[in-house]
Amino acid sequence: MRSEGQVRFITISSKVQMTAAAVSLTALIVWAASMAGAGWSQYRATADRLSLLDREAKVATATERVNAYRSDIDAVATDLAKRQEFIEDMVASLPEDVKTAASTSDSAGEASETISKVSLSIPEASALAKIEARQLVFVEGLTRYADARAQRATVALKTLGLDPASMMRNADRSAMGGPLENLVTDADGGIDPRFERLGLSIARMAALERGLEGVPQVAPARTDMISSGFGYRRDPFTRRGAMHKGLDFRGAVGTPIQAASAGRVSFVGWKGGYGKTVEISHGNGLMTRYAHMSRFDAKPGQRVAAGETIGAIGNTGRSTGAHLHFEVRINNRAVNPRTFLETAPNVLEEIRRAPQLASGQ
């Protein structure tokens, strides 16, 4: 290295070089494995969807349905009853804004063709064919609506710098259980692939929208009182460069602190230099941290809503004066909270308006 006219040499031993190479190789292997896992998940999701669409194509033909009616009309009637039960159970579990959504569908033409062929071939089955057609139009319309909402949520998450695919994987790994109750729409215990796709579309929509609900969207304190931003700064104690992994909001001791989003309180107590701290888990790896507090108004395990008071500003821990230190972490990696606080409210308002616009309300 040349500095001020002098040349200096640094010698790196073979042992150090080998260690560095091993660390680099390990990191490369971990990265490759994670990319392979993500690629496999994407492949499986695509393959599963193609399999469903292929099965749908086989069962949706008018000729197939005419043969089914001609083979056993009583079995068809039983299937329609089971499908109606499926639809009623599905609708009962949906949010109100989804229930009132318009369910128009491009499958109306196919359904009309089926009614016509069944009525001509088996006149006594005409009424059943009309019921089946209405069911399929409803299911297809609701599937398209759920897919559209899932797509809007996906765009919103990406706008906020979040990974929708990661959220879906986290949703699949969430703690869950209960007795097995398979979805059934056929007398033989099977499920029509069109109904199965509806269930998967609704589940995907719900998982992505739950992810949006957990996005920090409410400023925990007054934004005009931010005294220090996210990033590198001069440390107030050492006066040397240091990384600041949150936002500081100055305020009088006792000023209320609000939860930035809905979630479950995962920690309440003293946390090193943070002093009195509350942490809230919002699911999908999202966590917010509130530090230097003077008091707690929340308990571990408590569910809190966005904007709910969880404590008060204080001067505890490594602090030079009364303020709130606020962090947003994704899988324990600190990210800039300002991105969420400034962008999320507008993005989420757009999402909340979208269902009403889609249903013509």
- The 3 state secondary structure assigned to 272-319 is HHHCEEEEEEEECCEEEEEECEEEECCCCCCEECCCCEEEEEECCCCC
For 223-356, which CATH class?
mainly beta
Q: At a CB cut-off of 8 Å and minimum separation 6, what does 158 contact?
A: 164
Question: Does residue 263 carry a pLDDT above 90?
Answer: yes
Domain coordinates in residue numbering, the chain: 1-43, 60-171+184-213, 223-356
Rounded Cα distance between 168 and 304, Å, is 23
The arithmetic mean of pLDDT across residues 104-125, rounded, is 64
The arithmetic mean of pLDDT across residues 127-142, rounded, is 81
pLDDT tens-digit readout, 223-239 = 888 999 998 888 888 88
How large a percentage of the chain has pLDDT more than 90?
25
Rounded Cα distance between 83 and 92, Å, is 14
Task: Residue 314: name the closest of 306, 325, 322, 305 by CA.
Answer: 322
Task: Residue 307: name the closest of 276, 339, 263, 350 by CA.
Answer: 263
- The mean pLDDT of the chain is 75
pLDDT tens-digit readout, 234-253 = 888 888 888 899 999 999 99
Least confident of 132-146, 267-281, 338-352: 338-352
Q: Which two tokens stand for residue 44?
A: 């499986």
Residue 356: predicted pLDDT:
45
Alpha-carbon distances, residue 157 vs 170, 262, 317, 338 (angstroms): 14, 16, 34, 15
Which residues face 267 on adjacent strands? Answer: 279
Q: At a CB cut-off of 8 Å and minimum separation 6, what does 212 contact?
A: 153, 156, 157, 348, 351
Across the beta sheet with 293-296, the strand order is: 256-258, 309-313, 293-296
Residue 295: predicted pLDDT:
96
Question: Does residue 41 carry a pLDDT above 90?
Answer: no
Residue 234: predicted pLDDT:
84
Backbone angles phi, psi at 72, to 5 degrees: -160, 95
Q: Of 140-144, 168-172, 186-190, 276-280, which one has max mean pLDDT?
A: 276-280
DSSP assignments along 175-221, one per residue: -----------STTS---HHHHHHHHHHHHHHHHHHHHHTS--S-SS
The arithmetic mean of pLDDT across residues 254-266, rounded, is 95
